[in-house]
Chain A
């Protein structure tokens, strides 16, 4: 029984960590993979999502609806940003990095000015369940479930919908997509909005486990970046999952062996090592393997 509790405890932590990384990085990696922009304001969009959730909740909106509000709100903010600022910085990786960082500063400082440094708290729903002598929070499992659902949703969106087809065509070759009559500007705008909406939803979900302040985003941003960077831009979804699985593994083991801080450092170190081995990220490596497998199974065109 105790062994079971121990194993369950590790598994619980591991999937909690995976869920955390997937949720905080999903929006970021979509924008990076589809548009080649690393959105440094991602954490602040999560912060906006958290505030929207908190205010809606206190206004009497049920928590799940409040989280959806957060997604819609952050998505709209994202689309406005795309129209006003981001679209001038496509294909300029470094400049887009800097300009979105400026936006992040404006958001965190703006919220600080409006709402002050005081923090908000939301109750964590669903209580807990006991295993052996330990109690585990149910909400963490809900978060992991949400992470899975979001990833599945993103995959379905890009695989089955018209928007998904257009987005993939645009990513493949913007000029060609344009020539085929796809409104690439709108695709970019929607993709950016979608990425921001995912950030808002993540922020809304985390709002129930963390304190909400204008600097809410700062806690998530570095880990989200690390997840994205080692995931790579070649295939957003596989990259996201692979890197979350890998990093969460490192984190779970090291946190249990040492402490939170060493766990944090070890994730950075692991990210560093993975990048040295696979400079373009895990997804690029997986894509190339897949390609090789596909090609190998086909007869060569010239025997």
Chain B
């Protein structure tokens, strides 16, 4: 319910944890001491109003930015000081809020780059085929990304994150700019990935999408974890509704 962030569960079942994670920009606290834990194989949504620190949280988890204080632990190992590429090698990857696809490369090679870390070059065409089919982009392999529609690029961005074959996948607004059907399809993909064992954190604004995922949900507010619980409880919480209506 509307309780403050729950206490950390026993380590070992947790794949990713943060302890007292803090980030300030020029004196402004974007995150103020977030204790968060992701269970192995868990699907977890993070919601919160604009400027609550959600994207900052992902940047810190990924290693794009350094925390001002606090710790990030992946599978019991302190990764706070690791570079982004080192974290990626351990099995964490992200889909950024802005899509960050390779505009000047064909779709095929957008997937080739993440896939090449785990696959031999000659296996890749088959994997690409499968990934593209998953995100309804079959047959676009030769297309240059700049010729794709916005929605298609969003799909591709998701497929690229999946292609990195991470253990922990951070999805920052995967459905931004998508139609209702596309959103539903994305939810299917996320749930399937999770079913296959990937631990996933999703940042979203789209409540329908989160309802679809029906997972553990945390609310980030003013850079702190405000509430945590099953989505239906969170949705019912008066305080959370107040945050979104801005009357706190």
**Chains A and B in contact, CB within 8 Å:** yes
Residues of A within 8 A of B (CB): 288, 291-296, 300-302
Residues of chain B within 8 A of A288, CB atoms compared: 26
A292 and B29 contact, CB distance less than 8 A: no
Q: Does more than half of chain B's interface fall in helix, strand or loop, or is it mixed?
A: loop
Expressed in whole angstroms, the Cα–Cα distance for A301 and B248 within the complex equals: 12
A293 to B222, CA, bound (A): 20
Closest to A287 in B: B26
Residue in A closest to B248 when the chains form the complex, CB atoms: A302
CB <8 Å contact, B222 and A302: yes
Cβ of B222 and Cβ of A295 under 8 Å apart? no
Query: Any chain A CB within 8 A of the CB of B27?
Result: yes
- How many residues on the B side are at the interface (Cβ–Cβ under 8 A)? 5
Chain B positions within 8 Å of A294 at CB level: 27
Closest CB-CB distance, B48 to chain A, in whole Å?
13
B27 touches A292 (CB 8 A): yes
* Contacting residues, chain B, for A296 (C-beta < 8 A): 27
Query: Beta-carbon contacts of B12-34 to A below 8 Å, as 1s and 0s?
Result: 00000000000000111100000
Residues on A with beta carbons closer than 8 Å to the beta carbon of B28: 295
Cβ of A292 and Cβ of B222 under 8 Å apart? no
Q: How far is the CA of A93 from the CA of B44 in the complex (A)?
A: 40
In the complex, what's the smallest C-beta–C-beta distance from B151 to chain A, in angstroms?
24
Q: Quote the shortest CB–CB distance from B29 to chain A (angstroms).
A: 7
Minimum CB–CB distance from B52 to chain A (whole Å) comes to 11
Complex interface: chain A residues within 8 A of B222 (CB): 301-302
State the CA gap A294–B222 with chains docked (Å): 19
A294 to B28, CA, bound (A): 10
CA of A293 to CA of B28, assembled, Å: 10
CA distance A59 to B239 in the complex (A): 80
Q: Are A291 and B29 in contact (CB under 8 A)?
A: no
In the complex, residue of chain B having the shortest beta-carbon distance to the beta carbon of A298: B27
Which of A295, A300, A301, A302 is the one whose CB lies under 8 Å from B26?
Answer: A295
* Chain A proximity of B244: nearest CB distance (Å): 16
CB neighbours (8 Å) of A291 from chain B are 26-27
- The answer for the CA separation of A292 and B27 in the assembled complex, in Å, is 4
Residues of A within 8 A of B29 (CB): 300
Across-interface contacts of B26 in A (CB, < 8 A): 288, 291-292, 295
Interface residues in B17-66 (C-beta closer than 8 Å to A): 26-29
State in angstroms the CA–CA spacing of A295 and B25 once bound together: 10
Question: Shortest distance in angstroms between B33's beta carbon and chain A's nearest beta carbon?
Answer: 13
A-B pairs, 5 with minimum CB distance: A295-B27, A292-B27, A291-B26, A288-B26, A302-B222
Q: Hey, which chain A residues are within 8 Å of B27, CB to CB?
A: 291-296
The answer for the CA separation of A288 and B29 in the assembled complex, in Å, is 14
